[in-house]
A and B are shown apart, each in its own frame.
Chain A
């Protein structure tokens, strides 16, 4: 069933890849790796938007799943046939050269990947339905859609913690069950695994494009060896998918500033929108990203923001319709009367700072504090002579998002200690891959440390 659940996702990966390739036409091998790791989550996300509109129109989800699969496979066959000569040329032109340094990094990377996969699956088989939130909030909605058919809106009658959660994971899992056609816990499990692997893969591919493969391998090893990442993946919560879309949004800003390819903002808009469709935190993240694209458009290229808007349009429209016409009010902001009192309470700020700082120190959840290790590594290696452009934008986006999380804690209607304890690690997870991305693009690369005199310049390929 595990393999079948994976096979059920393949058409959506193809959909994602075709869409990404259609928007961003570069044939560079490094870009292709980025596209491969964008394909799965983009395909799953776009499919979930369309399938949601489909069931909202009171149409049968199984019909959608089958139509989507057939159309995507036919489209793929047509494109392969039409482009067969250029595809063959492309594969002929790809050359892999292995140096001694490369080989060492491949071995280290391989070991990290095994640890990462092992950590995920050992925890996943012990929690086939995921952790608490997975069955109480996320997968239960997928059951309403799959089992309920036209009565899926009954999900809004439930008693629950977060009544306005969006439907990306819901529709993705329900579509998988329709394709199998069987409701199995292996579907959400495989989807969680795909997102977990894609976070690591996307981080690698971004740094590989913006820097070099050694730096990319090192950064990805750091990410994959943090138990927090695999754990957040296997829980089947929406936080790791959210971290994925956040990373994709910020990474694409950096890729755009590096390459200045005009269609990249469309892709950035799309993944930012999919972040909104994954979890509510994506709403504020999208607003911050939109502000960043306005600044980029103002200072670099006018069309950038317009293209970002084109990309975000579909997810934004669906999220808007969902929030306005279907979802009940948010539990954090509905019927709040004492907000001002909470804002004026200085002790809450002190408590939040204290608690979140302790959690930050233990953020990776490994036996050694990754924060301590990275601080030490930063002090010893220092800044690269040619950092990627836009790192300050990326850092600012992370800081503003964290500030928003801080503000939510200040005004939370829940017990503050409980709220921080049950959410802080997941919130750090949202931005952790971006922080790793920024840090390793800012630090000296392994090759710079070997030959500091040769001032390696990282220039765009084109």
Chain B
């Protein structure tokens, strides 16, 4: 009995190593190099660099618009995309809706500029808009 008991710590260690090793093997077997290169946040970061460059460096607060803000849109607010944009454009703090001089529009590829233009015309009056691709726009509300 004593001999069996003396082996218990080794058994525990080997059992844990087997379980840990098995989990690692499973993780490795699902690992794809394409997942690394196409990783979601890194992909967004590429687009966010373009957005950042389109906003003057002395701007620290901007408005954020997305599909859910468009009148009669069926889209729901996408929290993940909001945080991805916020992460990308920091130190510019984002506020949802209109209100700031600089506005980041994240409308995705399904919405065309033609669709949103009447809505922006009505809300903003005089403004400039830069189409940055990937459904991203930087809008400058030119206050008279």
- Interface-lining segment among B17-25, B112-120, B127-135: B17-25
User: For residue A280, which residues in chain B have a CB less than 8 angstroms away from its CB?
Assistant: none
B8 with A140: CB separation less than 8 A = no
Would A368 and B15 be within 8 Å (CB), given that A126-B31, A159-B96 are in contact? yes
User: Whose C-beta in chain A lies nearest to the C-beta of B15?
Assistant: A373
- Interface-lining segment among B65-73, B76-84, B101-109, B136-144: B76-84
Instruction: Kindly identify which residue among A135, A139, A155, A222 contacts B93, using a CB–CB cutoff of 8 Å.
Output: A155
Summed over the interface, the residue pairs from A and B with CB atoms below 8 Å come to a total of 144
Task: Say whether A136 faces chain B, with CB atoms less than 8 Å apart.
Answer: yes
Please indicate which of the listed interface residues B8, B12, B16, B86 has the most CB atoms of chain A within 10 Å of its own CB: B16
Task: Say whether A328 faces chain B, with CB atoms less than 8 Å apart.
Answer: no
User: For residue A105, which residues in chain B have a CB less than 8 angstroms away from its CB?
Assistant: 13
B90 with A380: CB separation less than 8 A = no
Tally chain B residues at the interface, Cβ within 8 Å. Answer: 42
Please indicate which of the listed interface residues B42, B83, B84 has the most CB atoms of chain A within 10 Å of its own CB: B83
Task: Say whether A276 faces chain B, with CB atoms less than 8 Å apart.
Answer: no
User: For residue B121, which residues in chain A have a CB less than 8 angstroms away from its CB?
Assistant: none
Would A227 and B83 be within 8 Å (CB), given that A148-B91, A154-B91, A449-B6 are in contact? no
Would A449 and B5 be within 8 Å (CB), given that A119-B23, A125-B36, A157-B93 are in contact? yes
B42 with A129: CB separation less than 8 A = yes
Task: Say whether A317 faces chain B, with CB atoms less than 8 Å apart.
Answer: no
Would you list which residues of chain B between 1 and 57 have a CB under 8 Å from chain A? 2, 5-6, 8-10, 12-17, 19-24, 27-28, 31, 35-36, 39, 41-42, 45
User: Whose C-beta in chain B lies nearest to the C-beta of A122?
Assistant: B27
Instruction: Kindly identify which residue among A185, A222, A365 contacts B16, using a CB–CB cutoff of 8 Å.
Output: A222
B91 with A135: CB separation less than 8 A = no
CB pairs A–B below 8 angstroms (16 shown): A111-B21, A115-B17, A116-B20, A119-B20, A143-B87, A144-B91, A152-B91, A154-B61, A159-B96, A218-B9, A227-B20, A366-B23, A373-B12, A373-B15, A380-B5, A449-B5
Q: Which residues of B contact A (CB under 8 A)?
A: 2, 5-6, 8-10, 12-17, 19-24, 27-28, 31, 35-36, 39, 41-42, 45, 60-61, 80, 82-84, 86-87, 90-96
